[in-house]
A and B are shown apart, each in its own frame.
Chain A
Amino acid sequence: MKKEMFSEWKFTAKEIAEKPDLFLSGHRACAGCAPATVLRLIMKAVRGPTIVTNATGCMEVVSSIYPYTSWAVPWIHTAFENAAANASGIESALKILKKKGKIKHEHVDVIALAGDGGTYDIGIQALSGAVERGHDFLYVLYDNEAYMNTGIQRSGGTPFGASTTTSPAGTVIPGKLQNKKPIADIMVAHEIPYVATASPFYWRDLITKARKGIEVDGPAFLHVFAPCPRGWRSDPAKSIELSRLAVETCIFPLWEAINGEYQLSTPSKVLALAPQKKKPVREYLKLQGRFRHLFTPKFEKLTEEIQRITDERWQRLLRKCGMT
């Protein structure tokens, strides 16, 4: 009989609340930091012995200032562009040491964490190589859409029209001129068993997907939307609201691709079935200072362009999910 890809793991809110945290409080993340929330939720999904590796970036810096640490699991950071290579080495070592009887644990899960800079840009080579080799690990991209740790520089994950310190909205140029790279689709194209997108507002969906990514044999990729109030010039109290709006406007739809088969996750599926519930992108954009210039007469037309790009991508996704 073919082995099931995932267990039937179910959880209640109470169980999750009572499950000990493995990403501990006391870290130095900013108020309203969604990546920190994302990590805490991801670590609620672990099923047993787990080793975590982190690319250089905000989450690494805020969680590991020597001699303190926020990690209640074995954890390692080595550099920026190699989180997936870190995982490759750890997973290979665990495999052979297990075979040689040098470690007692039946199985140890490996999770690699990286931001958008460490994934879309400088880390994509190591990521592509590691999943091609088929290492058994979960790669979590926490996407706050710019190099926030170095002070809000544009990355391949920064959306069109966003003002960053290296794509500033000027009098002539309206912020970033290029689109966000479809990173999760690129990972699906690697023909790995599990790829999914998630948002911390839909925390149950997020935890479930993280667990699936951990459980699946072989590489899994989880793309998590993670607002950054400092970089997005948004109210720290609204990070989770923005995580919801990104899904409701279809700027960041939620889906899974299991063995390459796309399927919408419930929050996005609802919008596919009832398109009138889909919100205009302006509702999402207007809450963020990084898009402020798009609400001036000079650049106002660009919000229509963002709506057009969003709709096009949404339609393409619906086709992939067989929803059209």
Chain B
Amino acid sequence: MQSVIKQEILALNGDEAVALAVKQSDVDVVAAYPITPQTIMVERFSEYVANGEVETEFVCTESEHSALTACLTASVTGARAFTASASAGLALMHEILFVTSGCRAPVVMAIANRALSAPLNIHCDHSDTMAQRDSGWIQIYVENAQEAYDSVIQAFKIAENPKVLLPVIVGLDGFTLSHTLENVKVLPDNIVRKFIGTRQLPFVMTHEGKRALFKLDPENSMSMGPIALQNYYFEFKRQQEEAMKNALEVIPQVNEEYAQISGRHYGDGLLEPYHLEDAEIATVCLGSTAGTVKTVVDELRSEGVKAGLLRLRTFRPLPVEGIIRYLQKVKAVGIMDRSMSFGGHGGPAFHEIRHTLYDIQNRPYIVNYIYGLGGRDTSPSQIHRIYENLQKIVRTDHVEHLINYVGLRE
């Protein structure tokens, strides 16, 4: 058992914390394009490059589409690759997100979560990453700048695990986290490098029947990204699902290993329960809002209210077993969505949690609270009202509104 490493405390905003994590992770290729509120990440990283502090090829592409493309091909050439984006930039990458996961390229990408146009809005919500839900990327949502730093480091180790080989998005709330200064404990460079290790390449069988490293390598004429039709395509997709299942095991392992050196862990890496042991009412949320919700839960607990929170840290793969385990005894659950699925009868987190709990006996009431779109502030008093609403549902055995909008002019 390793002991916790002594760490320096730096004042960093979320974007700077990400840039530092990338610097320490011995990344070979960073290809990126600027977009608010992600830009600080690439600016800081450019400074590391300009000052010779990193051994990285930094490619300032002409678009996010090319940024992710370059990361993808760099990755399958054997490099460790990173990119970052937000909002419209992530939307422009949409096509290549699927190609990256389909090619099993373990690219890591930080997203400073931001609303999608129109109307144009640069502030936080989760519409950008939620719209990429089915693109085959692991999605981790962080609560603060510290977790942004920690999660980027963890992401490389998760992505590159030969049982996973999937790309990872680390989402941090735009401005709320990306631009807000916090105290961040940082590990020494050598410890981070040792933790992640060098890029592991699995062996595969080539079409010539040779055992070869899974990369574009002049030693082997491997063809990647071919056309696979009715007779093979389906099997490729099924393998991606298997990799996601494996990630459900690998993410907690990495969370645990990281806790041993850093002293920090985020629940089991998938879910972070907060006062759920005996909770009668609970909310589920993603990202920085959890910080505010925890404060409210503390207040409610001091008043004797059995309130709790489940923070969904890993949205893809969805930790179904944990969600059931933590929420099966709760009487009413409020799912907080910071994005919408227009015409879809509730937000994406609501759909998924509700579907997860469908099969349990005596399932709780499950209602949806859509909040904070376009960066609208969500206050502790609004969260108090959510818990009051949940209490009322329990008391009256009646759900008045299944889908609720928080802090909205109506």
Contacts and interface: CB of A to CB of B under 8 A. Distances in A.
B220 interface: yes
A93 B29 contact: yes
A53 B226 contact: no
Contacts of A67: 207, 232
A89 B223 contact: no
User: Taking each of B31, B70, B225, which has the highest tally of chain A beta carbons within 10 Å of its own beta carbon?
Assistant: B70
Interface residues of A, number: 49
B72 A74 contact: no
Nearest to B65: A82
Nearest to A62: B227
Interface in A66-91: 66-69, 71-79, 81-82, 84-90
Contacts of A97: 28, 77-79
B96 A51 contact: no
Interface stretch (B51-59, B288-296, B319-327, B378-386): B51-59
Most chain B CB neighbours (cut-off 10 Å) among A75, A89, A126: A89
Contacts of A93: 28-29, 57, 73-75, 77-79, 81
A129 B28 contact: no
Contacts of B99: 78-79
A69 B207 contact: yes
A154 B79 CA distance: 38
A100 B225 CA distance: 27
A97 B207 CA distance: 26
A103 interface: yes
A128 interface: yes
B215 to A, nearest CB: 8
A95 B58 CA distance: 11
B227 A90 contact: no
B69 interface: yes
Given A93-B79, A97-B77, A100-B55, A78 B216 contact: no
A66 B59 CA distance: 32
A178 interface: no
A130 interface: yes
Nearest to B96: A79
Interface string B86-123: 00000000011001000100000000000000000000
Nearest to A50: B218
B206 to A, nearest CB: 9
A53 B99 CA distance: 14
A236 B103 CA distance: 36
B216 A88 contact: no
A23 to B, nearest CB: 11
B218 A74 contact: yes
B66 interface: yes
Given A65-B229, A88-B70, A75 B62 contact: no
Contacts of B220: 74
A166 B112 CA distance: 41
B55 A76 contact: no
B69 A86 contact: yes
Contacts of A64: 223, 225-227
B224 interface: yes
Interface string B229-261: 100100000000000000000000000000000
A145 interface: no
A76 B96 CA distance: 14
Contacts of A89: 29, 31, 59, 69-75, 77, 81
Nearest to A105: B218
30 contacts: A51-B216, A61-B227, A65-B226, A65-B228, A68-B207, A69-B223, A71-B223, A74-B218, A74-B223, A75-B222, A76-B76, A76-B216, A78-B225, A79-B95, A79-B96, A81-B65, A82-B96, A86-B69, A88-B66, A89-B81, A90-B73, A90-B74, A92-B57, A93-B77, A93-B78, A96-B28, A97-B78, A100-B55, A126-B69, A132-B62
In order of increasing CB-CB distance, the 8 nearest A-B pairs are A129-B62, A89-B73, A49-B218, A89-B70, A64-B226, A85-B66, A93-B77, A85-B69
Given A69-B223, A85-B66, 15 more contacts: A51-B216, A61-B227, A64-B227, A74-B222, A74-B223, A77-B226, A78-B72, A79-B96, A89-B71, A89-B74, A90-B74, A93-B57, A105-B218, A126-B66, A129-B63
